Amino acid sequence: MVTSDPGIFVKQIKGALQRKLRKINEAHEKANTFGNNTHKREERRAIEETASAIEQIESLANVNLKNSSYELSQETTSSIPRLVFYKKTGRVEYFSEDQKLSSATFAKNTSEGKVLQHLAYNSDTAFMTSDLLKYLNDPRQGADFPDPKKRVNDVVKVIRKKLSPRVVKTTTNGYMIECKVILV
């Protein structure tokens, strides 16, 4: 059913997400009771990925499932670039000015994850390469020339490759993120 009223559309999405979330929670509880069998690990992983997808849809539509009120947020329709962090899953999504979505998952213990998180939490502040060095992991054993500046540049290059070249901006004062940062 197609409707032009966004309120009805949001209610339909909300109802579908609530039903899906109930089913996922039931399946997740059931999978947790089976223990650590190999085939059950895959099942639990699929359930967690589905829950993550619903969490992402919820944040995009700005629908709060625990609250019966709803509102379409200005953030979901604006052309302001934004970076969305999902704390539970480590997933990061970047919405460009033209609303193109690019997403990637960054583990919290990797150099990329640490640097991106630091830049995002301090958005609109430029950091020199020397300032970002403390967020890098130790260089691998046997690395030829672990030049610190090159390592920071490589980490930023990986972040840009995974998300978008426009996520991390290079300025005369160093690297920075110039967009709205949303923590979910």
Average pLDDT of the segment spanning 151-163? 90
* Sign of the alpha-carbon torsion through 49, 52, 53, 54: positive
pLDDT band at 161 (very low <50, low <70, confident <90, very high): very high
Examine the pLDDT at 147 and tell me if it is beyond 70. Answer: yes
Is 162 a residue whose pLDDT tops 80? yes
The phi-psi region of residue 21 (left if phi > 0; otherwise alpha if psi is between -120 and 50; otherwise beta) is alpha
Which pLDDT belongs to residue 7? 59
Residue with tokens 């995009």: 60
The domain locations on the chain are 6-76, 82-183
Task: Tell me which DSSP letter residue 76 carries.
Answer: G
Q: What is the pLDDT of residue 86?
A: 83
The token pair at 144 is 């030829």
pLDDT digits (tens, 9 = 90+) for 11-70: 666 677 777 777 777 776 766 665 555 566 666 677 777 766 666 666 655 544 444 444
List, in order, residues 6 or more apart from 119 with CB less than 8 Å away. Answer: 127, 132, 168, 175, 176, 177
pTM listed for this prediction: 0.57
Domain range 82-183, CATH class: mainly alpha
Q: Are strands 101-105 and 91-95 parallel, antiparallel or unpaired?
A: antiparallel
